[in-house]
C-alpha cells in the first residue's frame, strides 16, 4: 500500500486501502476471480468486487460522498469489459458484501455497525 502522504486526501487513501482489503479476502472466501489476468473478464470482475466493497466500507465510515466520482469512474471502466456478462454486477455486489462482512467479522463493534448500515430505509433511496 502506498503511504498516505502520496494521496490527495485522507478519503482517497482509505478508499484505496479498503479496495486492497477487499482483494485480501479473495483467498479466504475462495473467490475464483482472484485468478484473473489484467484485461480479461475475470480480472475485471475482481476489480468490480473490490471497488464495490471499498464503496461499502467508505459508506460505513461516512466518507463515501467525497470519493463517489472516483469510484463511479473506476467501476464504469471495468463494466465495459463486463458488458457481455450483465448479471455479474449483482453477483459482484454479493461477493463484495461477503468480503465486507468477512473484514468486519474481526471486530464485533464494526460487525454491529455493518448490520445497522446494511438495513436500507426507503427514505435513503428516494431521489
How far is the C-alpha of 126 from the C-alpha of 26, rounded, in Å? Answer: 33
Distances (CA, A) of 62 to 17, 35, 98: 15, 32, 20
Q: Are 49 and 99 in contact (CB under 8 A)?
A: yes
**Cα 16–Cα 24–Cα 83 angle in degrees, nearest 5:** 70
pLDDT on residue 122:
47
pLDDT on residue 35:
81
Selection from 92, 102, 88, 90 nearest residue 57 by Cα: 102
pLDDT on residue 10:
87
pLDDT on residue 116:
52
User: pLDDT by residue for the chain (127 residues), tens digit each?
Assistant: 889 999 888 888 999 999 999 999 999 998 887 788 887 888 888 988 999 999 899 888 888 656 666 767 777 766 776 677 778 888 889 999 999 999 998 877 766 655 555 554 445 444 3
Q: Are 81 and 46 in contact (CB under 8 A)?
A: no
Amino acid at each position: 500500500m502506498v503511504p498516505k502522504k502520496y494521496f490527495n486526501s485522507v478519503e482517497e487513501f482509505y478508499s484505496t486501502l479498503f479496495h486492497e482489503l477487499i482483494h485480501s479476502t479473495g483467498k479466504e472466501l475462495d473467490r475464483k476471480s482472484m485468478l484473473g489476468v489484467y484485461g480479461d473478464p475475470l480480472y475485471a470482475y475482481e476489480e468490480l468486487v473490490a471497488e464495490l466493497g471499498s464503496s461499502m466500507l467508505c459508506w460505513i465510515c461516512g466518507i463515501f460522498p467525497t470519493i463517489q466520482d472516483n469510484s463511479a469512474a473506476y467501476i464504469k471502466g471495468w463494466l465495459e469489459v463486463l458488458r457481455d456478462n450483465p448479471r455479474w454486477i449483482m453477483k459482484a455486489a454479493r461477493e463484495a458484501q461477503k468480503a465486507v462482512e468477512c473484514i468486519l467479522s474481526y471486530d464485533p463493534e464494526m460487525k454491529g455497525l455493518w448490520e445497522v448500515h446494511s438495513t436500507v430505509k426507503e427514505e435513503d433511496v428516494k431521489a
